[in-house]
């Protein structure tokens, strides 16, 4: 990748409209993060309108965070409509290992919708790739963590999952891996404290959809640039916290850091390598 800043600048120029079928925990933060990057959010999850809403948008983010039987038809119809129109579609398989319902829905989505990218933590991606994970909630299980000695195995896993699905796969955590079937970017950045703010993963998935809409010809680079931007926002936001502030102020500082981030700042602050 030559210039992650350029991918951010293109988001600001295009101002993509991103349709989110997402969870009620973090929906407002996802909307504000999209506004911060210069994109435009819309949340709409009723089966009566999901496909039509998507048709008027530039990208679609499907998030399983508070999955309900009512919205499964919406996920499917919006995903298929976006495919017909050639819009990028991002899957965030929140807590996919926590219930059979989530796992079954995620598998049905992967079978019937062509995703441009799948973004999740390592436990979620392991579950989707049909490996074992002990995670029962929405956060990664520490036992799944990608340590240096497990890096090669993790890269092989996501590359083969990428080949199988045709999607760019982004696994985030202390180290982030972003791969298509051949290449894998390793992104080092962010802050461990980002795990204490609910919604940083959901925000990154929506940001990924915006970056893909603005950079349709280079999906691997677009997703990597989105990951770099979120990581850098986590670092800048942390530096901007005042003494005594906690995770809610940190949430706001992360979103504000995206709001103020320039292409050249991302260019300087992004830490990624093709490994
Ligand atoms: N231990 C960590 N160190 C640095 N950055 C982290 C850490 N954990 C998460 N992040 C960052 O937080 C953001 C959300 O990722 P993650 O916590 O993996 O998603 P999720 O909330 O879906 O589990 C990403 O930008 C990721 O790189
Ligand atoms: C806590 C919680 N429960 C269902 S969705 C959700 C938010 C998950 O957000 P993220 O994966 O971005 O931390
Ligand atoms: Mg998540």
The ligand placed nearest to the CA atom of residue 178 is 1
Instruction: Tell me the residue range of the domain where 228 lies.
Output: 4-274
**Cα-to-centroid distance, 118 and ligand 1 (Å):** 15
The ligand placed nearest to the CA atom of residue 207 is 1
Domains in the chain, number: 1
**Cα-to-centroid distance, 175 and ligand 1 (Å):** 8
How many C-beta neighbours within 10 Å does residue 9 have? 18
Q: Is the pLDDT of residue 227 over 70?
A: yes
Identify the pLDDT of residue 54. Answer: 98
Identify the pLDDT of residue 204. Answer: 98
Candidates 119, 239, 122; CA nearest to 167 is: 119
**Cα-to-centroid distance, 85 and ligand 1 (Å):** 31
C-beta 194 within 6 A of ligand 1: yes
Q: What is the CATH number of the domain that holds 197?
A: 3.40.1190.20
- pTM given for the model: 0.97
Contacts of 96 (CB under 8 A, 6+ apart): 64, 102, 103, 106, 120, 124, 127, 128
Could you tell me whether strands 40-43 and 17-21 are parallel, antiparallel, or unpaired per DSSP bridges? parallel
pLDDT in tens, 180-202: 999 999 999 999 999 999 999 99
**Cα-to-centroid distance, 89 and ligand 3 (Å):** 16
Report yes or no for ipTM above 0.90.
yes
Candidates 202, 198, 157, 199; CA nearest to 18 is: 202
Q: Is the pLDDT of residue 131 over 80?
A: no
The ligand placed nearest to the CA atom of residue 93 is 3
Strands annotated E in the chain: 17-21, 40-43, 59-63, 89-92, 117-121, 168-172, 175-179, 184-188, 272-274
Bridge partners for 20 per DSSP: 43, 61
Mutate to test the pocket of ligand 2, among 34, 62, 65 (most ligand atoms within 8 A of CB): 65
Mutate to test the pocket of ligand 2, among 31, 43, 63, 94 (most ligand atoms within 8 A of CB): 94
Whole-number Å distance between alpha carbons of 165 and 185? 18
Tokens found for residue 74 = 């919406």
Atom of ligand 1 nearest to the CA of 200: 14
**What residues flank ligand 2, with Cβ below 6 Å?**
23, 25-26, 65-66, 94, 138, 198-202
What 8-state DSSP symbol labels residue 148? G
pLDDT in tens, 47-106: 999 999 999 999 999 999 999 999 999 999 999 999 999 999 999 999 999 999 999 999
Q: Is the pLDDT of residue 151 over 90?
A: no
How many C-beta neighbours within 10 Å does residue 242 have? 7
Give the chain's mean pLDDT: 95
**Cα-to-centroid distance, 201 and ligand 3 (Å):** 4
The residue written with tokens 């039987």 in the block is 69
Q: Mean per-residue pLDDT for 226-251? A: 98
């Amino acid at each position: 990748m030559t210039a992650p800043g350029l991918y951010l600048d293109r988001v600001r120029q295009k101002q993509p409209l991103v349709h989110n079928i997402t969870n009620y925990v973090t929906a407002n933060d996802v909307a504000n993060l999209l506004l911060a990057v210069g994109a435009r959010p819309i949340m709409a999850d009723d089966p009566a309108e999901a496909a039509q809403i998507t048709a008027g948008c530039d990208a679609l983010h499907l998030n399983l965070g508070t999955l309900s039987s009512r919205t499964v038809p919406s996920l499917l119809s919006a995903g298929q409509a976006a495919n017909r129109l050639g819009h990028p579609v991002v899957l965030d398989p929140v807590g996919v290992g926590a219930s059979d319902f989530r796992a079954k829905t995620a598998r049905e989505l992967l079978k019937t919708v062509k995703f441009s990218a799948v973004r999740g933590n390592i436990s979620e991606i392991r579950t989707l790739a049909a490996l074992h994970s002990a995670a029962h909630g929405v956060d990664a299980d520490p036992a799944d963590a990608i340590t240096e000695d497990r890096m090669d195995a993790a890269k092989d896993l996501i590359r083969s999952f990428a080949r199988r699905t045709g999607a760019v796969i982004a696994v985030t955590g202390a180290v982030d891996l972003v791969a298509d079937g051949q290449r894998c970017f390793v992104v080092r950045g962010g802050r461990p404290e980002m795990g204490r703010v609910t919604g940083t993963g959901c925000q990154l998935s929506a940001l990924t959809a915006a970056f893909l809409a603005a950079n349709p010809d280079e999906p691997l680079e677009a997703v990597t640039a989105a990951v770099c931007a979120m990581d850098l926002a986590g670092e800048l936001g942390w530096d901007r916290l005042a003494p005594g502030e906690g995770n809610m102020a940190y949430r706001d500082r992360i979103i504000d850091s995206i709001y103020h981030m320039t292409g050249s700042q991302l260019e300087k602050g992004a830490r990624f390598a093709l490994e």
